[in-house]
Amino acid sequence: MENQFNFKEMQERADRLAPGHRMCAGCGGTIAARNVLKAIHPGDRAVVGNATGYLEVSTFIYPYTAYEDSYIHTAFENAGATMSGVETAFHALKKKGKLDDTYKFITFGGDGGTYDIGLQSLSGAMERGHDMVYVCYDNGAYMNTGIQRSSATPMYADTTTTPAGKVSNGKPQYRKDLAAIMAAHNIPYVAQTTFIGNMKDLYTKSEKAIYTPGPAFLNVMAPCPRGWRYNAPEIIEICKMAVETCYWPMFEIVEGKWILSYEPKKKLPIEEFLKSQGRFKHLFKPGNEELIVQYQAEVDRRWEDLLKKCNM
């Protein structure tokens, strides 16, 4: 679909995630949910789902919710299955003439509930072709339960289950490439984005995902001040450095075609992303220089692979 981005008009839309929730200052999950939902056109209605996670526990406590649209809290493992069932029920009711509104179906899950625990139900929903959007707010760990590592946790990150110290350099594995896994399902739309500039990339990809017929997946890097250990006002700069170092490339996959959304004019060294986060402070201690060299090599390898997929 063609998208005519109007930042002022987007910002003036009523919030579908209301204020008064209990999220931390500088929380990326809130920014992701609020702005994805602003991409829904005025007048359209939505059903919003949440896998168990920090976004859910902070925006919903029975019987109250911060969401202005219909809302469903599901378990960690079945957010994809739940929303696919709701979407199916809607079409059945519409066919019987019991509903005539336009509804969009959007569910949110953190990386723990998406990369790991909920992967099977997400995969099933995408493979079956349900007309829904799954949004992963990727903060790189199980932040809600104590900052344990997930398969989205970046290499050498210090977490409570991969603590950096005398016998460990943090998580030894690199993060799973979930966007590529979703693309392998041959769904109409997959995109990766985060918070930079005036949010144009996040808005436009959210609108495309919501209004593309069939299943769509958005992977949004959503930093966590508690788990990443940064000062809350630094969140946008951290996102910018993730993109400029190519740690978090911005791309979309439309009907199987890989498209690079942004290419840095001058690719920055990975240290520019790592240095402002306490979870990586051990990498900058004398004697650990080789760890950063290894990290840079993996980022470079993945970036070159992405460029090939995008025919660049």
Residue (of 113, 105, 101) closest to 130 by Cα position: 105
pLDDT at 1 exceeding the cut of 50: no
H, E, C per residue of 14-35: CCCECCCCCCCCCCHHHHHHHH
| Residue 211: pLDDT band with limits 50, 70, 90 | very high
The answer to whether 131 and 87 are in contact (CB under 8 A) is yes
188 or 11, higher pLDDT: 188
What residue type is 18 in one-letter code?
A: A
| Bridge partner residues of 254 (DSSP) | 189, 257
How far is it, in rounded angstroms, from Cα 1 to Cα 216? Answer: 14
The answer to whether 162 and 153 are in contact (CB under 8 A) is yes
Q: Percentage of residues in the chain with pLDDT exceeding 70?
A: 98
How far is it, in rounded angstroms, from Cα 303 to Cα 245? Answer: 10
* Amino acid 19: pLDDT: 84
Q: What is the pLDDT of residues 14-51, one digit of tens each?
A: 899 988 788 888 889 999 999 999 999 999 999 999 99
* Amino acid 269: pLDDT: 98
pLDDT at 298 exceeding the cut of 70: yes
Q: What is the pLDDT of residues 130-152, one digit of tens each?
A: 999 999 999 999 999 999 999 99
Structure tokens at 136: 């992963």
| Residue 156: pLDDT band with limits 50, 70, 90 | very high
Q: What is the pLDDT of residues 224-272, one digit of tens each?
A: 999 999 999 999 999 999 999 999 999 999 999 999 999 999 999 999 9
| Residue 209: pLDDT band with limits 50, 70, 90 | very high
* Amino acid 52: pLDDT: 93
What mean pLDDT is predicted for residues 76-90? Answer: 97
| Residue 4: pLDDT band with limits 50, 70, 90 | low
* Amino acid 228: pLDDT: 97
**Most distant pair of Cα atoms in the chain: their distance:** 69
Average pLDDT score, the chain: 94
Q: Where are the domains of the chain?
A: 11-309
Q: What is the pLDDT of residues 172-187, one digit of tens each?
A: 999 999 999 999 999 9
Say whether 220 sits in a helix, a strand or coil: strand
The answer to whether 53 and 62 are in contact (CB under 8 A) is no
SS3 content of the chain, % helix, strand, coil (to 5): 40, 15, 45
Q: Under CATH, to which class is 11-309 assigned?
A: alpha beta
* Amino acid 222: pLDDT: 97
